[in-house]
C-alpha cells in the first residue's frame, strides 16, 4: 500500500500562531529527561477498574501505543499491521476476547453502550488489529455489524453526522475519540474504494462535530450540544477526547493507501487539533495545570490531571507528525504536573470524576479513563523524543 512519506508530513505543517498567549511561548525547547512513571502499576490499576465501553477503548489504545508502538497508527508504516513481527499485547486480547465471546448473535454493537451509539465502537481498532492475527470470521462479522449500525441505524443529522446517542441526534465531544478512529481504521485495513470512503467519512465526522461544538472565541469545544439537553461547558476531558481522536484519524489517513488523495483532509485535522491546543494552553497555569472547565477561574472549577494528560498526549503526537514544536514547552509543564498527580501505588489523583463531569475524584473513586490517558501520555512523549 502507498504510504505517506516524511516529506508530506512536513509539507502539511500548520503555521504557528504568532500571537499565542501561552506563558511558555518563549521558553526554550524542552529537555528529553523528565519524571518517570511506573506504567506497569498504572496499567494494572486501569485494567482492574475498567468496565465501560469507552473505557475499554481508551485502555486498548493506550496499551497498544505504549507496549507495541510499531502496531499503533502512529508508527511509520501502520498498514498493513506488522503483527507477524510484533505481538498484539496480552492486555488487548484479555479485553476484547471476553467482550466478543459474550456478544449475542442479534447484537448490533460490540458491547452495550448504555444509550451511547458511539462508545462501543471505541474498541473497534483493537478488534480489527487483533483479527489480523486471529482471522476469526465471527469477529469479522461483529466488526461489520458495528460498522453498519453506525452507518445505517444510528440517528444522523441532515448533514450526515452520526449521533453519539441512540435515541436522538446529539453531539458529544467524546464521540470524536470513539467513532471516527474506528471508521478510519476500518478504511485503512480494508483499502480500495470502500476503504477510502470510510477514511473520508472519518474526516467528515470530525468536521461536522467541530461545526456543532467549536467555540471560535475560546478556540475550544463545548461538551454536548443538540438533542433534548446540552452541556455547554468547555470540558477539559471533552476537548481531550476530541483532540486525540482527530490526531488518531490524522495518523490513520497518513499511513493509509489514500494518504496522497486525502492531503487536504489531513491539513484540516492538523488545524483542528491545533485549535484545541491553542485554547487549552491559553488557560494553562505556570505550573502546567489545566482546569476541568478550561476557561473558568480556579475558584469556579478545579484542576484536572486526566483531561490534561490526553490533551498533552495529543500535543506530543501532533508535534511528532508536523515537526511544529510550538506547544512542546506547554506539554512538558503538563507532563511534569501529571507525574506529581500519580501516587506511589499508580493511581491518578487530582482529576475529574468522569461520570459526573463537574466534580473531582473523592475518597476511593478512581478514573478508569484517566489511568489510560496517563499511559497514552507516556507513550506519546516517548514517541515525540524519538523523532528528534
> Along the chain (388 residues), what's the average pLDDT of each consecutive run of 10 residues?
36 37 40 82 99 98 98 97 95 98 92 98 99 97 98 99 99 99 99 99 99 99 98 99 99 99 99 99 98 98 99 99 98 98 98 96 97 99 97
Q: Which three cell numbers stand for residue 296?
A: 473558568
Place of cell 470524536: 176
Q: Which three cell numbers stand for residue 34?
A: 523528565
Supply the pTM of this predicted model.
Answer: 0.92
Long-range contacts of 141-147 (CB under 8 A, 24+ apart): 142/100, 142/103, 142/110, 143/186, 145/107, 145/108, 145/109, 146/108, 146/109, 146/110, 146/120, 146/121, 146/182, 147/182, 147/183, 147/186, 147/198
The Cα 91–Cα 43 span in angstroms is 9
136 burial (CB, 10 Å; 0-12 / 13-18 / 19+) is middle
Q: Please name which of 64, 54, 120, 52 lies closest in space to residue 91, comparing C-alpha atoms.
A: 64
Strands (E), 72-202: 171-172
Q: Give pLDDT, residue 35.
A: 86
**Class for the domain spanning 6-386:** mainly alpha
Beta bridge partners of 235: 293
Integer distance in angstroms from the first to the last C-alpha of the chain?
Answer: 27
Q: Which three cell numbers stand for residue 85?
A: 513481527
Q: Give pLDDT, residue 145.
A: 98
Chain centre to alpha carbon of residue 229: 25
Strands (E), the chain: 171-172, 214-215, 220-221, 224-225
Q: Please name which of 99, 107, 189, 180 lies closest in space to residue 149, comparing C-alpha atoms.
A: 107
Helix/strand/coil (H/E/C) assignment for every residue in 246-285: HHHHHHHHHCCCCCCCCHHHHHHHHHHHHHHHHHHHHCCC
Q: Which residues have CB under 8 Å from 20's CB, separation 6+?
A: 278, 281, 282, 326
Q: Please name which of 178, 160, 181, 182 lies closest in space to residue 169, comparing C-alpha atoms.
A: 160
Q: Which three cell numbers stand for residue 348?
A: 491518578
Residue 110's alpha-carbon distances to 43, 171, 368, in angstroms, are 23, 21, 19
Answer for the pair 101, 70: CB distance below 8 angstroms, yes or no.
Answer: no
State the Cα angle at 66 between 64 and 71, rounded to 5°: 40
Residue 196's alpha-carbon distances to 98, 200, 201, 255, in angstroms, are 31, 6, 8, 12
Q: Which three cell numbers stand for residue 352?
A: 475529574
The Cα 138–Cα 232 span in angstroms is 41
Amino acid at each position: 500500500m502507498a504510504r505517506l512519506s516524511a516529506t508530506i508530513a512536513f509539507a502539511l505543517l500548520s503555521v504557528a500562531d504568532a500571537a499565542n498567549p501561552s506563558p511558555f511561548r518563549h521558553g526554550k525547547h524542552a529537555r528529553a529527561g523528565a519524571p518517570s512513571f511506573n506504567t506497569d502499576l498504572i496499567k494494572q490499576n486501569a485494567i482492574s477498574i475498567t468496565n465501560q465501553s469507552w473505557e475499554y477503548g481508551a485502555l486498548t489504545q493506550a496499551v497498544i501505543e505504549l507496549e507495541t508502538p510499531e502496531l499503533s497508527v502512529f508508527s511509520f508504516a501502520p498498514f498493513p499491521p506488522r503483527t507477524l513481527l510484533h505481538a498484539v499485547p496480552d492486555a488487548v486480547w484479555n479485553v476484547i476476547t471476553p467482550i466478543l465471546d459474550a456478544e449475542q448473535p442479534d447484537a448490533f454493537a460490540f458491547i452495550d453502550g448504555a444509550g451511547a451509539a458511539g462508545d462501543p465502537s471505541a474498541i473497534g481498532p483493537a478488534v480489527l488489529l487483533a483479527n489480523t492475527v486471529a482471522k476469526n470470521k465471527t469477529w469479522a462479522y461483529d466488526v461489520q455489524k458495528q460498522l453498519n449500525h453506525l452507518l445505517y441505524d444510528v440517528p444522523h443529522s441532515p448533514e450526515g453526522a452520526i449521533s453519539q446517542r441512540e435515541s436522538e441526534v446529539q453531539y458529544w465531544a467524546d464521540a470524536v475519540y470513539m467513532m471516527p478512529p474506528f471508521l478510519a481504521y476500518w478504511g485503512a485495513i480494508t483499502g480500495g474504494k470502500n476503504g477510502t470512503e470510510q477514511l473520508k467519512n472519518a474526516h467528515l465526522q470530525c468536521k461536522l462535530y467541530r461545526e456543532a461544538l467549536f467555540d471560535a472565541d475560546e478556540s475550544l469545544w463545548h461538551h454536548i450540544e443538540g438533542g433534548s439537553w446540552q452541556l455547554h461547558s468547555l470540558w477539559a476531558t471533552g476537548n481531550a477526547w476530541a483532540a486525540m481522536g482527530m490526531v488518531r484519524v490524522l495518523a490513520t489517513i497518513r499511513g493509509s493507501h489514500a494518504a496522497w488523495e486525502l492531503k487536504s483532509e489531513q491539513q484540516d485535522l492538523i488545524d483542528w487539533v491545533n485549535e484545541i491546543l491553542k485554547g487549552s494552553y491559553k488557560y494553562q497555569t505556570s505550573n502546567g495545570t489545566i482546569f476541568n472547565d478550561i476557561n473558568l477561574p480556579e475558584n469556579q472549577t478545579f484542576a484536572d490531571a486526566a483531561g490534561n494528560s490526553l490533551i498533552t498526549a495529543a500535543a506530543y503526537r501532533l508535534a511528532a507528525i508536523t515537526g511544529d514544536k510550538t506547544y512542546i514547552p506547554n506539554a512538558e509543564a503538563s507532563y511534569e504536573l501529571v507525574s506529581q498527580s500519580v501516587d506511589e501505588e499508580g493511581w491518578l489523583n487530582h482529576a475529574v470524576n468522569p461520570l459526573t463531569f463537574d466534580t473531582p475524584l473523592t475518597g476511593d473513586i478512581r478514573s478508569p479513563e484517566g489511568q489510560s490517558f496517563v499511559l497514552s501520555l507516556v507513550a506519546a512523549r516517548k514517541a515525540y523524543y524519538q523523532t528528534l
